[in-house]
Amino acid sequence: MIKKQKKRTQKDCDKLLSPLVKSISPECMLCGKPTQVAHHFFHKSKCLALRYRVENLINLCNGCHYMLHFDEGYWAGKIIEIRGMKWFKKLDKVKQSNKKFKPDYDKIYKTLKLK
């Protein structure tokens, strides 16, 4: 008998993000402490096309993540200084073309599992 594969959801894919970022970048980008969360530079609620792009994920400890949300404008500027304007413009271009993006969560899940 062939087992039917579970249909993946946004929640399934989201669960893979922090462990992935921790493995890629084990130290907080801002202070050097251990990475605890994956912060979306371009908010996940504002841009589905960037929600699962590793380039859009910022490796942070919980303290820096809290600080960032307290004064997002300041810290966004610092992150752009660290990552570079070329990085920012590339993501911004994806964001601008985001209008009709429909995620395929099965495909996203498989891609994230392979990284």
DSSP string, 62-89: HHHHHHHHHSHHHHHHHHHHHH-HHHHH
Predicted structure pTM score: 0.84
Cα 2 to Cα 22: distance, rounded to the nearest angstrom: 35
- Quickly tell me which residue has 């912060």 as its tokens: 39
Residue 89 has pLDDT above 90, yes or no: yes
pLDDT the model gives residue 36: 95
Q: How does residue 4 score in pLDDT terms, banded at 50, 70 and 90?
A: low
38-79 pLDDT, tens digit per residue, is 999 999 888 888 999 999 999 999 999 999 999 999 999 999
DSSP secondary structure code for residue 27 in this structure = B
**What is the torsion angle, in degrees rounded to the nearest 10, for the CA atoms of residue 103, residue 106, residue 22 and residue 70?**
30
